[in-house]
Structure 1
């Protein structure tokens, strides 16, 4: 048995899970939020016991030290000393075109992560900070990097390259990279197990505040809706998804927006929030049920965009065996699932509305009898996927 500490460092947060492998037992979990701000909070959970404490947390080093103290606490801790942690698995959002698999961290790996700061300015810097802090706190533990982009390295060049001068692809590595790869990999593996079919064609639909959809053929990503950055594709909580590039030029040239203002508009003020004033789908569903036409339109637009990608990816793979809904919205919104699967008879996609309404935290099939395509709701578990890959690397 080996204990794997999973670290997910954000700009002002640090999430963690301590997982015992290969039994996959979650020994402890939680997060520190509002790092560097007033009233930072540490949430710590062991079994059915949950603790929340306000702390002064000036940086990620203090946050991880506080987590470590809880893990080794004589009353609520789960380990006696740091040496009981065999490896620390780090989620790193952008690996560029360098990293196609999970890798042990060394100086060269850290430098490559740093070189990709410009590709993921909100994510890679805190990811690297988490690595550096963990190296100091856990000197005897293996440090492992698991990249969100790695799963999408199998996307063929005909899908990954943009139709701009080739030098931008060859010299500047401007291409589709994709995101949410750890989630898409985890749920697609579960779907393949459910199908009991090696030569599978799966469309994985990750719907949360950030959204993406992936065509997975024979267990490999072959196309994906997010690209060079995490703003295109599906309509998201505050991000626009696909938009005509001419709109950007119009905002800058005719309306006087700066490029930064356009970036803020597309990343933080668009999507469901821009359409309705709400970024949380639960609020939008509630308002739509009360007759708010704009909220209903936003949900219709959201589902319509997903349906377009399903059609495209079914064409790319010459068929589809299963749709997979995952992440917060995908797992919990029966309304969105119903809108997406409506009028898809041509593809053999038929939803059982009663099964769709059932709430459960386990994998479940919700297709109607006679549906040619399996419709699966699979709770994602990125932390477990990171633990599995880290364990495989150090074993």
Structure 2
């Protein structure tokens, strides 16, 4: 049997329908979508605009509010830096920019980078459930604020922020509201207008589309204005210059169309798979704990903490499973997950935690197999740890006896 992929929050495979939609645009209809003087260029342009319509429909936006980017990281940077720089350049005296301690690294670093330009970054704490308390946000916005960035769903824990309660607080304070919806798009219902968002970022590869493309929603009414991050030919309403990758955008559009059609049924199926897996795991390992709110979570995600074994040791004893200890962007770091420590876990507890996410191609048989493998891996890691501890104790005793001699 091959490996079991349970890291769908890191990335997703392209859906076969997405692959089929993209292929002709690489070699047959290869025109530049900005070349309006000939048929291949116009054909590519029309395909890109159809993709824009599909992304807008998934987000509940108008097509004219969708700006294509290379992914959510670029979209987050354009939204946060572009919005505050535009306002400051036009004499706005506010300097505070607010976000949350559990945000994706690209959001946290974008906000922190602005300190070098005279802005005031404010990073708000979350509770043990991983959610931002409305009172904490309200207190932070007592100081005039330019922009607030709060993700819809966390990339490590899958925890959902209560944007329905938080957005009115931001609106009452007169600040702009940006949300990174990359993990939420296609998994839960999204409507940027109903959510009262000014800006929202999404990435194709998180919803069975290709890597390398994403989008930024930019509200038109009332209009939100941004300063572009770099100069060029003025494509995408001057906000993101560069030739658009028509094949990838065609795939992005197809992925969004599929997500709209499949979301409800898929969400129910994935939640059932996840809950069945968790029940089997808890029955075999009563000490396992779910990090973050279970009631307010993506239907596909679990972030698990074991009682007495490190997650890296468990993963090492389960080579058949594709799992991670945190976000893909931070997996090379030796430091404990900043998301989990922000939720109150100490370094040892964070080190005993791993992320698991099921997806479109996960079957009940896969999850039964995964539960058996993971239970075995935990037992093996525990036994190996006990053996290592016993060996270390023996060595320490031997050294002590040597010293006495």
TM-score after normalising by structure 2: 0.28
Higher strand share: 1
Higher helix share: 2
Structure number with higher relative contact order (C-alpha < 8 Å, ≥ 6 residues apart)? 2
TM-score after normalising by structure 1: 0.28
